[in-house]
Amino acid sequence: MLITSKTKFCNNPWGLTVREAELLWLLTEFSRDDVGARIGIGHSAFAMALHRAKTKVGAKTATAAVVEFDRWWQGAKGGVRVAVLNRMEIELFETVEPSGAAQL
């Protein structure tokens, strides 16, 4: 999937890198497994990138970070599109150590 407005990701209020912002954006649309494959990173790298993004956004959970990012991305006009299934997958993913030691 091509994202044509990567420059808009650079202007996010949290100082997320384009890759971190792209990760949060993709999590609003696709499952965790699909996102890892789409941006070409493995389980451990995905966990670390998600943790960094969550920390920068200032959210307690990755789900909250995705929701907050989506609110910003939508510009408060379209609402939050995060699917319930994606939220559950993200919450399950948060139980995995960033090192990738634990498995789902």
Q: Is residue 8 part of a domain?
A: no
> Is pTM, for the whole model, over 0.75?
no
Give the span between the Cα atoms of 26 and 64, in whole angstroms. 14
Residue 76, amino acid: A
Q: Is residue 25 part of a domain?
A: yes
Give the span between the Cα atoms of 39 and 23, in whole angstroms. 8
The domain tally of the chain equals 1
Among 31, 36, 25, smallest CA distance to 100 is for 36
Q: Is residue 7 part of a domain?
A: no
Here the CATH number for the domain that contains residue 83 is 1.10.10
Range of the domain at 48: 14-93
- Read off the tokens for 31: 């499952």
pLDDT at 22: 82
Start-to-end C-alpha separation, the chain: 26
Contact 71, 80 (CB under 8 A): yes
Q: Is residue 100 part of a domain?
A: no
Q: Is residue 3 part of a domain?
A: no
**Per-residue pLDDT tens over the stretch 47-71:** 888 889 999 999 988 888 888 888 8
